[in-house]
């Protein structure tokens, strides 16, 4: 029970100290939905698709614009497939790198590690707090998008929007946990950001190219972005295999942090 209490205390502390930043990011993500969702009825699906069709087919496929003329395809191409992931990945990877390595470089982690709390418990509290923040931002994106879709009358199901929001949460938490794990192992914030961002960008490029290059199916199987988007969650619902893979990636990264962080010399 004492370990659980220590985890809850750490979660509460992390959430309280980051509440203002979290509010700012929530406003930014709500603004993304607020700008792009109402734009679809103004343009009209057919007109928008006709504009996109003037582009080279390979570019259309790489950008994921092949179904941008449909309501579900439009939400995937803009909110859930590009802008919200980009913003949330910046938030998540930055937070993951800062949660352990950033505080260690600033000298704050030594004080926390010197308390009568096991390091694995401290790590669990911080990871869960990070996941909670990403979840709240993903929920914000999902709720605002669902409300605006209803207001403007787009033909998209609520279950599809929720499925995409769930995948967005799983995707960002996976990369955020990778960044945290690298920081927990190395103690270097810059390395954690570089590794997390590099894997995220490589994953996005692999997903974008999977439909236009030979052996694209291999890229699709290896890319976490494809685990999230290839099943078309807005239109088709939850792609169970892909989402299970994203959750597995998160726990593998957590396990990697757990193997090293409790025994690493923090100077305390």
3-state secondary structure of 65: coil
The predicted structure's pLDDT at residue 116? 73
Residue 20 CB neighbours (<10 A): 8
Of 166, 162, 184, 187, the closest CA to residue 261 belongs to 184
The predicted structure's pLDDT at residue 28? 95
CA torsion 176-208-215-233 (nearest 10°) is 70
Q: How far does the chain reach from its first CA to its final CA, in angstroms? A: 25
The predicted structure's pLDDT at residue 51? 58
The predicted structure's pLDDT at residue 179? 97
- Which segments of the chain have a pLDDT < 50? 268
The predicted structure's pLDDT at residue 60? 56
Euclidean distance between CA atoms 228 and 171, whole angstroms: 7
Question: Which phi and psi (to 5°) does residue 81 adopt?
Answer: -100, -10
Domain residue extents for the chain: 2-263
Dihedral class, residue 223 (left if φ above 0, else alpha if ψ from -120 to 50, else beta): beta
Predicted TM-score of the model (pTM): 0.91
The predicted structure's pLDDT at residue 63? 57
């Amino acid at each position: 029970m004492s370990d659980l209490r220590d985890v809850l205390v750490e979660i509460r502390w992390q959430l309280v100290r980051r509440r203002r930043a979290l509010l700012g990011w929530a406003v930014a993500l709500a603004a993304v939905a607020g700008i792009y969702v109402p734009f679809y009825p103004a343009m009209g699906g057919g007109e928008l698709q006709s504009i996109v069709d003037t582009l080279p087919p390979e570019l259309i496929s790489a950008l994921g614009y092949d179904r941008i003329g449909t309501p579900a395809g439009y939400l995937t191409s803009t909110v859930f497939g590009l802008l919200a992931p980009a913003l949330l990945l910046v938030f998540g990877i930055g937070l993951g790198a800062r949660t352990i390595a950033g505080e260690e470089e600033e000298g704050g982690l030594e004080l926390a590690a010197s308390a009568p709390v096991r390091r694995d418990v401290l790590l669990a509290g911080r990871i869960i707090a990070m996941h909670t923040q990403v979840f709240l931002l993903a929920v914000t994106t999902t709720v605002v998008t669902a409300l605006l879709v209803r207001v403007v009358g787009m033909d998209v199901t609520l279950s599809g929007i929720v499925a995409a929001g769930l995948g967005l949460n799983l995707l960002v938490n996976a990369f955020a946990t990778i960044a945290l794990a690298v920081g927990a192992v190395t103690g270097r914030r810059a390395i954690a950001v570089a590794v997390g961002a590099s894997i995220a960008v490589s994953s996005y490029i692999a997903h974008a190219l999977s439909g236009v290059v030979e052996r694209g199916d291999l890229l699709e199987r290896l890319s976490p972005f494809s685990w999230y988007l290839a099943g078309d969650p807005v239109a088709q619902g939850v792609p169970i295999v892909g989402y299970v893979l994203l959750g597995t990636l998160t726990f593998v990264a957590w396990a990697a942090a757990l193997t090293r962080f409790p025994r690493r010399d923090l100077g305390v």
